[in-house]
């Protein structure tokens, strides 16, 4: 049986937290050569490099980040054990680490994640936003419990993970008052030549909208393209162009941005997925999010 040397793990954990061997040596009251030697032994035990140099600093390797995450859990639980035995309250909520693709509208993210905050057992949410491929790479090394995105995991990505469809909803076009008055009649023909704000070409929604425009022989004037859905809406709020957004958010978009709905892009559906390394979801907060999405948030694609 292989045994983990927890002293070596503690030394590694302290160096990772402090950012250097010298600072960690002061905290642990060890000589620097001794500390460096102990970390090398841990790397030999794992047969993996845990640190790499970046200039004068040590940074965690990909495997180092995995080990650090487990070490953090191990030593946090150890502190809780001590607090419990000494009669001190721990008050530590469970953690839910989530990556959200930047193309997912903030309103959708909020509706999904707030479900976890209403559970009987408290949950601390740690949410990171970024590009889907980068988030999936982090998911693969267990840095996230879940990734939320607008497309299922693609076969060409070398990530062992599973798709969990959350739901789908129609897409509505919104515009400022002035643009709505100019282009509100005879929708969707009124979009021909109209200033348009769209998501970037690498998104599922953009591909669907391009096909929708082509099928209707509508050629809008594309003013700007955005990765960030919130930035797209901000430009739309100030009258720079008509913009699409999930119909399920229609009432709050009208209220928050002071815009009007022009019409629904019939046949265009925006889909959302949860991607996890688990085929069968076990994390209670993740299970609650996926259940709420399917039963309430995206039910019939309406608010």
Name the average pLDDT for the chain. Answer: 89
The 10 Å Cβ neighbour count of residue 293 is 23
Tokens, residue 33: 């050569």
Full residue range of the structural domain in which residue 280 is found? 94-167+272-301
Of 85, 103, 120, which one is at a domain's C-terminal end?
85
Q: Give the CATH number, domain containing residue 56.
A: 1.10.10.10
Q: Give the gyration radius of the chain's Cα atoms.
A: 24
Tokens, residue 108: 């959708």
On whether both 224 and 264 belong to a single domain, the answer is yes
E strand map for 61-187:
94-101, 123-130, 146-149, 162-175
On whether both 173 and 266 belong to a single domain, the answer is yes
Quick: pLDDT tens for 224-241.
Answer: 999 888 999 999 999 999
Residue 35 pLDDT exceeds 70: yes
**How, if at all, do strands 94-101 and 146-149 pair?**
parallel
Domain tally, the chain: 3
Residue 303 pLDDT exceeds 50: no
Residue 50 pLDDT exceeds 80: yes
**pTM of the complete model:** 0.68
Q: Are 191 and 65 in contact (CB under 8 A)?
A: no
Q: Distance between CA 58 and CA 41 in Å, rounded?
A: 17
On whether both 163 and 283 belong to a single domain, the answer is yes
Of 85, 105, 121, which one is at a domain's C-terminal end?
85
Q: Distance between CA 4 and CA 46 in Å, rounded?
A: 9
Quick: pLDDT tens for 193-209.
Answer: 999 999 999 888 999 99
Q: Are 220 and 265 in contact (CB under 8 A)?
A: no
Q: Does the residue 1 lie in any domain?
A: no
On whether both 265 and 278 belong to a single domain, the answer is no
On whether both 109 and 45 belong to a single domain, the answer is no
On whether both 255 and 176 belong to a single domain, the answer is yes
On whether both 10 and 68 belong to a single domain, the answer is yes
The 10 Å Cβ neighbour count of residue 221 is 12
Q: Does the residue 179 lie in any domain?
A: yes
């Amino acid at each position: 049986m292989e045994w983990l040397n927890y002293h070596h793990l503690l030394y590694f954990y302290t160096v990772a937290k402090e950012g250097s061997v010298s600072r960690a040596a002061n905290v642990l009251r060890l000589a620097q050569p001794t500390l460096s030697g102990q970390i090398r032994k841990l790397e030999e035990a794992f047969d993996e490099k845990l640190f790499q140099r970046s200039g004068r600093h040590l940074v965690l390797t990909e495997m180092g980040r995995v080990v650090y995450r487990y070490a953090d859990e191990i030593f946090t639980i150890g502190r809780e054990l001590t607090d419990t035995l000494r009669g001190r309250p721990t008050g530590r909520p469970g953690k839910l680490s989530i990556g959200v693709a930047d193309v997912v509208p903030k309103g959708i993210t909020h509706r999904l994640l707030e479900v976890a905050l209403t559970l009987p057992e408290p949950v601390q949410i740690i949410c990171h936003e970024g590009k889907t491929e980068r988030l999936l790479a982090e998911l693969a090394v267990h840095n996230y419990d879940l990734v939320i995105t607008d497309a299922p995991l693609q076969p060409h990505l070398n990530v062992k993970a599973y798709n969990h469809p959350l739901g789908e909803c129609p897409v509505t076009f919104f515009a400022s008052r002035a643009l709505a008055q100019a282009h509100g009649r005879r929708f969707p023909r009124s979009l021909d030549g109209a200033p348009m704000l769209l998501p970037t070409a690498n998104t599922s929604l953009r591909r669907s909208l391009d096909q929708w425009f082509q099928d209707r022989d509508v050629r809008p004037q594309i003013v700007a393209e955005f990765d960030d859905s919130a930035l797209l809406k901000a430009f739309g709020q100030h009258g720079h162009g008509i913009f699409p957004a999930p119909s399920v958010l229609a009432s709050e978009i009208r209220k928050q941005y002071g815009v009007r709905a022009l019409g629904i892009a019939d046949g265009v559906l925006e889909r959302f997925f949860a991607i996890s390394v688990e085929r069968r979801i076990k994390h209670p907060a993740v299970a609650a999010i996926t259940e709420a999405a399917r039963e309430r948030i995206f039910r019939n694609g309406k608010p």
